[in-house]
A and B are shown apart, each in its own frame.
Chain A
């Protein structure tokens, strides 16, 4: 499969995530769109790893496994990030009784 199709697919998923972050006001949905962007990057990394593996050929049979381990570590960090982020959202809801991120502008006062 041509790598450009994977690039365009990941780009489309990433842009959908960006549009969600820019247009939605619900903090939980903004957070989910960030997860979507992370997954688009993961998909592209795996596709690049398989491209690298095919290019290296029989000379290096484990070429490209670093990229897949990188995806694994991105998933680890994403899990830690989600736990802290959801705790922050719960805290925000407890203080303002809403998850509208427009209320966060009072942080500047």
Chain B
């Protein structure tokens, strides 16, 4: 058993444990932190598979951007205490049993598949040199379309997250009237 195999088993145990802690943790802040740990272990799996570009992107995008967004929202809502009502433990039990049944069925179905090897620690398709060439030669149109997707997501987030239109307009109008009145008063008109 080589060093990469030992690393694989350690990382697999760490990712499963931290993923379980995401679900088990009572406080949402702890869930976010355990999810960040899960993302780091998955990035380590990518490094083990010699997909360094995806490992770096995973850390930057998921652990760096998305999880910070989650933390901001949790802090904004002041949810860092146990606010979840504990009710209906039968539903929880049934959910866990249903998930376990899915796991058992899939494992039983895939247990007898052919044993193929995945290349660990070598092969340079995961490096930025190769991926960048493929991305900007063959997949440049989807790449540009994804920028439109980002633009629409940004506009959508702003539109959804904005307060009611009429209130904003009213407040702004009142503020403007007050300022105009102040200015007139100060000028003695």
- Given known A1-B8, A32-B35, contact A19–B95 (CB-CB < 8 A): yes
In the bound complex, residues from chain B placing their C-beta under 8 Å from that of A8 are 107, 110
Which of A18, A51, A73 has a CB less than 8 Å from the CB of B142?
A73
What does DSSP make chain A's interface, helix, strand, loop or mixed?
helix
Most chain A CB atoms below 10 A, which of B23, B46, B116: B23
Q: Nearest Cβ in chain B — how far from A87, in angstroms?
A: 4
Which of B5, B50, B85, B153 has a CB less than 8 Å from the CB of A100?
B85
Judge whether A23 and B73 touch: CB under 8 Å.
no
What does DSSP make chain B's interface, helix, strand, loop or mixed?
helix
- Given known A47-B49, A50-B118, A86-B69, contact A65–B125 (CB-CB < 8 A): yes
Judge whether B125 and A12 touch: CB under 8 Å.
no
Q: Nearest Cβ in chain B — how far from A83, in angstroms?
A: 5
**Please, how many residues of chain A have a CB less than 8 angstroms from a CB on the other chain?**
74
Judge whether B84 and A24 touch: CB under 8 Å.
yes
Which of A4, A28, A46 has a CB less than 8 Å from the CB of B113?
A4
The residues of B with any CB-CB pair to A shorter than 8 Å are 4-5, 8, 12, 15-16, 19-20, 22-23, 28, 31-32, 35, 38-39, 42, 45-46, 49-51, 53-54, 57-58, 61-62, 65-66, 69-70, 73-74, 76-77, 79, 83-85, 91-92, 94-96, 98-100, 102-103, 106-107, 110-111, 113, 115-120, 123, 125-126, 130-131, 134-135, 139, 142, 146, 149-150, 152-154, 156-158, 160-161, 163
The residues of A with any CB-CB pair to B shorter than 8 Å are 1-9, 11-13, 15-20, 22-26, 28-29, 31-33, 35-36, 39, 42-43, 46-51, 53-55, 61-66, 68-69, 71-73, 75-84, 86-91, 93-94, 98-100
